[in-house]
Amino acid sequence: MIKFTSNDIVQLSQRGISPETVEDQIQHLIKGFPYVLLHSAATLNSGIIKMDETKAMHYVACYEVYKPICQFTKFVPASGAASRMFKHLFNYLETYKTQESEAEQLLADNSIGSVSYFLQHIAEFAFFPALDRALSIKGLDLMQLFYEKKYHIIIEFLLTENGLNYANLPKGLLLFHKGMPTSRTALEEHLVEGACHSENSNGDVYIHFTVSPEHEDEFIKLVENKKTYYENTLNVQYHVSFSQQKLSTDTVAIDESNQIFREKDGSIHFRPGGHGALIENLNDLKGDIIFIKNIDNIISDNLRETTCLYKKAMAGLLLDIRNKQYEYLLLLEKDTITADELNEISDFVTSEIQTPLPKGYEQYSLAKQQKKLHEILYRPMRICGMVKNVGEPGGGPFYVEDKSGVSLQIVESSQIDLSNPDQKKIFDSATHFNPVDLVCSVRDHNAQPFDLRQFTNPETGFISNKSKDGRNLKALELPGLWNGAMDKWITLFVETPLITFNPVKTINDLLRETHL
């Protein structure tokens, strides 16, 4: 038992965190999380549904049929800072300050991820005119700076508050793409994409962004400035909302003595719980059909058609399966049900939603089979787009085995015991990658919202080593939004074209064809 001070109790109460929750978090930090046990990799036609264009068009038709009775919402995690996008530019600036000759050596690298490549192509970025104006306001000429090779000034005006301040803004507020009549931020591109696949039958488009507290006002201002233009251009009506990660989802840390890490004033040090905390925000939406996509995974107009086609197709597949899910749940709630009906439902469970039945199911009584099938079907559902693995870091689709049986899950490499040869072999055999492209059903057959917090797996969090004020600490992240936070959802994987995955991890990624 931890002895909390009276100040601790007040601090916890203000955040809506119970002492028991803190004790659980500390135990996880001390003991760690168990590794996920991989059963096999999900591959095409064995855990991943292959959706060619013919099948995609079929499910787009399903999407159109069900659309009038659905409410679509687009959910975009957008609180992440853009600072990591500029790591190579910061490295150049720091090197320039200490050793100019070494900075010149950095410019000798002309690879696509280099500072030199960034400078050579700077006029191609959507933010170039804004950067030019920012320099002009201070009496500087961009072309003259290039001629004099004063690249550090150009980069400083891009990154710092002297100019565009891009390193201190979230990705959603950065100009990503050139456009007519004006360039677009990542947020604006999500407005455009939302009109493409998330438009409801009455022309309403609901989009929800999760943002950091310090930037919410800037997001609101941007939407207010741009909303009418896009509504008139695209003939839709936007309903844009925002939320922040709740203080109650923050987590504690421990020091090297396994004690609560405290601030200099003795108060408990809290850290954001990671994107898994957003299950609370998702739950609060009380939505119906929710599209989830990261803020930086967006595409320009000339290539948007394929992305929208597969978004609609994934939604059509979800709605087609959900229709059967609802039908069978109503049947399972009847007082009497026949063996033939149970067999039909069990076939749907194993084939359509790819959920193995528990061992010994065949020997269950009819009443027990009825109860088990209802338990399996009474869950939120998600269709997850998967692209072919091209070496990007992140999670992938696997069959995972636990005490409940075998299920399809998105698993990060850090969750796997890669020192185990058998587990590493399964991990290495994965053919696809998770681009965070989800369509979710979050209401039950009675049109009531699921409590999504009841379908998480608290044993799948993440631990990382950090430091603060010169002291080492162990930090805890909650189960990831598309990992442990959706562990108990009905999950299906669908192959989508690689063009649907266009993340911007570094500023130079905006020079790829999909962003020009």
Q: What distance in Å separates the CA atoms of residue 154 and residue 115, rounded to the nearest whole number?
A: 12
Does residue 162 belong to any structural domain of this protein? yes
Euclidean distance between the first and final Cα of the chain, in Å? 57
How many Cβ atoms from other residues are within 10 Å of residue 241's Cβ?
Answer: 12
As a whole number, the mean pLDDT across the chain is 93
pLDDT for res 303? 83
Lowest mean pLDDT among 99-103, 110-114, 345-349, 482-486: 99-103
Rounded Cα–Cα distance for residues 380 and 382 (Å)? 7
For tokens 């990992």, what's the residue? Answer: 483
As a dihedral over the C-alpha atoms of residue 366, residue 371, residue 373, residue 378, rounded to 10 degrees, the angle is 160
CB distance 79 to 211 below 8 Å? yes
Quote the CA–CA distance of 76 and 84 in Å, as a whole number. 19
Q: Work out the number of other CB atoms within 10 angstroms of the CB of residue 414.
A: 15
- Asked if 189 and 177 count as a contact pair (C-beta separation under 8 A), the reply is yes
Mean pLDDT of the region 285-304: 92
Which residues are 206's β-sheet partners? 73, 239
Q: How far apart are CA 169 and CA 296, in angstroms?
A: 13
Going 166 to 513 to 227 to 284, the CA torsion angle's sign is negative
Over residues 472-510, the pLDDT tens digits come to 999 999 999 999 999 999 999 999 998 888 889 999 999
Task: Give the tens place of pLDDT for each residue, 347-400.
Answer: 999 999 999 899 899 999 999 999 999 999 999 999 999 999 877 667 899 999
Answer yes or no: are the C-beta atoms of 27 and 415 closer than 8 Å.
Answer: no
Q: Which helix (H) or strand (E) element contains residue 340? A: helix 339-347
Instruction: Report yes or no on 95 lying in a domain.
Output: yes
* Side chain identity at residue 457, one-letter code: N
Question: Where does 6-134 show beta strands of DSSP type E?
Answer: 37-41, 43-44, 47-49, 72-77
pLDDT tens digit sequence for 190-202: 999 999 999 999 9
Q: Look at residue 105 and tell me if it is in a domain.
A: yes
d(CA 173, CA 473): 32
Distances (CA, A) of 304 to 194, 197, 241, 495: 11, 11, 24, 17
Are 481 and 452 contacting, i.e. CB atoms less than 8 angstroms apart?
Answer: no
Confidence bin at 71 (pLDDT 50/70/90): very high
pLDDT above 90 (res 405): no
What local confidence, expressed as pLDDT, does residue 393 receive? 63
- Residue that has been written with the tokens 């500023």 in this structure: 507
Question: From CA 470, how far away is CA 466, in angstroms rounded?
Answer: 10
Helices 304-332 and 186-197 pack at an angle, to 10 degrees, of: 60
Q: What are the two backbone dihedrals, phi and then psi, of residue 346, each rounded to the nearest 5 degrees?
A: -65, -35
Host H or E run for residue 278: helix 278-285
Residue 397 to residues 77, 218, 368, 481, Cα–Cα distance (Å):
21, 36, 31, 15
* 372, amino acid identity: K
**How far is 377 from 10, CA to CA, in rounded Å?**
42
Residue 511 inside a domain? The answer is no
Instruction: State the CB neighbour count (10 A cutoff) for residue 408.
Output: 22
- The domain of 109 spans 89-168
CA–CA gap between residue 286 and residue 443 (Å, rounded) = 8
The answer to the question of residue 337 being in a domain is no
Task: Give 515 or 39, the one with higher predicted confidence.
Answer: 39
Decide: 190 and 182 in contact? Cβ < 8 Å: no
**How far, in Å, CA of 189 to CA of 298, rounded?**
7
Q: Is residue 123 part of a domain?
A: yes
Structural domains of the chain, count: 1
pLDDT band at 155 (very low <50, low <70, confident <90, very high): very high
For the chain, helix (H) and strand (E) counts, in that order, are: 16, 19
Q: What is the 3-state secondary structure (H, E, C) of 164-229?
A: CCHHHCEHHHCEEECCCCCCEEHHHHHHHHHHHHCCCCCCEEEEEEECCHHHHHHHHHHHHHHHHH
> Which amino acid appears at position 31 of this protein?
K
Q: Is the predicted pLDDT of residue 253 greater than 80, yes or no?
A: yes
In a domain, 111, yes or no: yes
Contacts (Cβ under 8 Å, ≥6 apart) of 302: none
Indicate the SS3 state at residue 263.
Answer: coil
Nearest to 396 by CA among 365, 368, 445, 436: 436
Across-strand partners of 385? 494
pLDDT digits (tens, 9 = 90+) for 200-242: 999 999 999 999 999 999 999 999 999 999 999 999 999 999 9
Q: Distance (Å, rounded) from C-alpha 198 to C-alpha 71?
A: 9
Q: Give the count of alpha carbons within 13 A of 48, CB side only.
A: 24
At 268, is the pLDDT very low, low, confident or very high (cuts 50, 70, 90)?
Answer: very high
119 occurs within a structural domain: yes
Helix-, strand-, coil-residue percentages of the chain, each rounded to 5: 45, 20, 35
Alpha helices per DSSP H over 99-174: 100-106, 115-120, 128-137, 142-147, 151-159
pLDDT of residue 99: 84
